[in-house]
Chains A and B, each alone.
Chain A
Amino acid sequence: MASAGTQVAAGPMKLILGALRAVQNLLGLVGGLIALLILWEVLVRVTETPTFIFPSASQTIERLQEQIWSYLYEISWTFAAAGIGLVIGSGVGIIGAVLMAQWRVVEKSLFPLAVFLKLVPFIAIAPLLVVWIGYNLWPKIIIAALITFFPVLVNAIAGLRAADPLAVEFFQSVGASKVEIMTRLRWHSSLPYLYAALKLAVNLSLVGAIAGEYYGAEHGIGKVIEETALRLDMRGMFAAILMLAAVGVTLTLITNAIERRALYWHESVRSGAPQ
């Protein structure tokens, strides 16, 4: 409840404090990672675990350095499949949610179908899709889309319905149309729910794409993991998994940053709740 004057004065100060906090967070993250790597190294050496069972951190990192460009290339295929699947799955989910939130009839007729879709374990049909469609990107895209669709749909419906009922009544009291209530009120109210679902969906789409790659692919990090497993090349496999983890963390940090920017007004962001 600062007055406008103090707010302006607090601007640069806030920025510096924010930057300091970001650096602090990053240091904490890096510190934690280093501690984990050291623990890994020590454990493997002390127990004298053979490399073909559990390679040490240093061996894994060494292999990763050799393979980094080829792995990055492979992972970009995985990302393409996951990304396109995510866009399709969440896009259909969001459109479906808007229609269902707008018309109960649509919800009554389509929602049971969505629940039925959710009950199918899509990972299980991955081999089928590969047989039908081939070793290209499409089976992975389809799996990623199918598993991201439902959580996005359900959360978006919940969010669209969560608009402040009194705000809805204010809109109605000035004769706002249903479309206006949707675009100017419900849509914004649903964003916290939608971001929560999308963060989940980002991970799910990667899981779907990689699972699809296990059953046959020309490219992709899933294919790398599968091949290294067949050759009992644990170093190569661990390097690929480490790479995937690093990319996953980066992706999460990026989505969190986007969320914080978009939802500056929401309690979850202002209270600094864990992401």
Chain B
Amino acid sequence: MQHIKNPVAQSASAFHNTREHVVIDKVSKRFDLRTGSVEALREASVTIAEHEFVTLIGPSGCGKSTLLRIIGGLIEPTSGTIQIRGNSPSEAQRAKDMGFVFQSPALLPWRTVVGNIELPFELNRAAAAKRLCSTEEILELVGLASFAKAHPYQLSGGMQQRVAIARALIFDPSLMLMDEPFGALDEITRDGMRYELLRIWSQSKKTVLFVTHSIPEAIVLSDRVIVMSPRPGEIREVIDIKLPRPRNEEIESSAEFVRYADHLRKLLRH
């Protein structure tokens, strides 16, 4: 197995020109509970291109987190397939090609900020330890340059979440999976983080799959918004957001933004 160190890096060249990064094909998920089984996701199919920023939006229980977890290889689909640059999710995991950011920062409280950010390099050493940039540079990128030696408990919720983003970016995965990363933050911090994430994304050019239930967040961030509906979780509509980039706060008062927001609100109401 020594000679195939990094299956993704090898196949990346073969798949790069197709521009398809994540292909989701008829993915369904059933959870068996003691009270019976719940259909969390029904036949979700969508293709995400390289460097695209795609948001999954929908009410609670529509299967958006489930879909993200299946793509991340954390749970197995009941049926259907996922391909990430031609590989399965577990292959992509083994190749360290995905950066996960969760609703809570999930940092290791006994480690400093730097210790947390560099954690991925200590894990799964067999996979190529690519590096996006130096730890100092990534701290600069997420605006925590003066907190390198602080411990998580000394940071605010927003700062901790930025550490989690840095930890997912540092090993240079091609795909970022973000599960309501700003969900636990207050509205003011959340507004700021939105544009901060856009700035970071524009500098690193990752493919991002972002779960949220905030309509403004979805519009501001995305190239495309996937609207999902609950019971069973299904993809209802995929909307292209044709707002010019780079985007800043002013975009939220534009007529186009309001139109997208109205449309999304109507879709989500049913």
Q: Which of A128-169 contact B (CB under 8 A)?
A: 164, 166-167, 169
A14 CB–B CB distance under 8 Å: no
Residues in B whose Cβ lies below 8 Å from that of A166: 102-104, 106
Q: Which of B76-121 contact A (CB under 8 A)?
A: 93-96, 98-100, 102-104, 106-110, 119-120
Residues in A whose Cβ lies below 8 Å from that of B127: 174-175
Residues in A whose Cβ lies below 8 Å from that of B123: 171, 174-176, 180, 184
Closest to B100 in A: A173
Q: Is the CB of A173 within 8 A of B94?
A: no
A231 CB–B CB distance under 8 Å: no
B35 CB–A CB distance under 8 Å: no
**Measured CA separation A2–B146 after assembly (Å):** 10
Q: Is the CB of A164 within 8 A of B74?
A: no
Q: Looking at chain A, what size class is its interface with the partner chain?
A: 20 to 34
Q: B98, B108, B127, B148: which has the most chain A beta carbons within 10 Å? A: B108
**Measured CA separation A111–B113 after assembly (Å):** 38
Given A180-B123, A265-B151, 4 extra CB contacts under 8 A? A1-B154, A167-B106, A177-B124, A184-B108
Q: A2, A174, A176, A185: which has the most chain B beta carbons within 10 Å? A: A174
Given contacts A164-B106, A174-B93, contact A1 B155 (CB under 8 A): yes
A109 CB–B CB distance under 8 Å: no
Given contacts A169-B100, A174-B96, A174-B124, contact A2 B154 (CB under 8 A): yes
Closest to B148 in A: A4
A260 CB–B CB distance under 8 Å: no
Residues in A whose Cβ lies below 8 Å from that of B96: 174-175
Q: Is the CB of A170 within 8 A of B102?
A: yes
Residues in A whose Cβ lies below 8 Å from that of B104: 164, 166
B59 CB–A CB distance under 8 Å: no
Q: Is the CB of B149 within 8 A of A175?
A: no
A177 to chain B, nearest CB (A): 7
Closest to A2 in B: B154
Main secondary structure of the interface of A (DSSP, over half): helix
- Could you list 23 A-B pairs, sorted by A, with CB under 8 Å? A5-B146, A164-B106, A166-B103, A166-B104, A167-B108, A169-B100, A169-B102, A172-B74, A173-B73, A173-B93, A173-B98, A175-B93, A175-B96, A175-B124, A175-B127, A176-B123, A180-B122, A180-B123, A184-B108, A265-B110, A265-B151, A265-B152, A270-B153
**Measured CA separation A185–B155 after assembly (Å):** 20
Which residues of A are at the interface with B, using a C-beta cutoff of 8 A?
A: 1-5, 7, 164, 166-167, 169-177, 180, 184-185, 188, 264-266, 270
Q: Is the CB of A180 within 8 A of B124?
A: yes
What are the interface flags for B113-152 relative to A under an 8 Å C-beta threshold, 1 for contact and 0 otherwise? 0000001101110010000000000000000001111111
**Measured CA separation A6–B155 after assembly (Å):** 14
Q: A2, A171, A264: which has the most chain B beta carbons within 10 Å? A: A171
Closest to B72 in A: A173
B182 CB–A CB distance under 8 Å: no
B53 CB–A CB distance under 8 Å: no
A162 to chain B, nearest CB (A): 12
Closest to B171 in A: A174
Residues in B whose Cβ lies below 8 Å from that of A188: 108, 110
Q: Say which residue of B72, B119, B153, B177 sits within 8 Å of A184 (CB atoms).
A: B119
A273 to chain B, nearest CB (A): 15
Residues in B whose Cβ lies below 8 Å from that of A167: 106-108
Q: Is the CB of B147 within 8 A of A4?
A: yes
Q: Is the CB of B109 within 8 A of A265?
A: yes
Q: Say which residue of A2, A4, A172, A184 sits within 8 Å of B93 (CB atoms).
A: A172
Closest to B93 in A: A175
6 interchain residue pairs of minimum CB distance? A166-B106, A176-B123, A173-B100, A4-B146, A175-B124, A167-B106
Given contacts A173-B72, A175-B93, A265-B109, contact A4 B119 (CB under 8 A): no
A176 to chain B, nearest CB (A): 4
Closest to A267 in B: B153
**Measured CA separation A167–B73 after assembly (Å):** 15
**Measured CA separation A188–B72 after assembly (Å):** 25
Closest to B127 in A: A175
**Measured CA separation A170–B168 after assembly (Å):** 9
**Measured CA separation A175–B74 after assembly (Å):** 10
**Measured CA separation A66–B207 after assembly (Å):** 79
Residues in B whose Cβ lies below 8 Å from that of A172: 73-74, 93
Residues in A whose Cβ lies below 8 Å from that of B153: 265, 270
B2 CB–A CB distance under 8 Å: no
Residues in B whose Cβ lies below 8 Å from that of A173: 72-74, 93, 98-100, 177
A180 to chain B, nearest CB (A): 5
Q: Is the CB of B109 within 8 A of A175?
A: no
**Measured CA separation A37–B100 after assembly (Å):** 61
Residues in B whose Cβ lies below 8 Å from that of A164: 104, 106
Residues in A whose Cβ lies below 8 Å from that of B73: 172-173
Closest to A8 in B: B149
Closest to A165 in B: B106
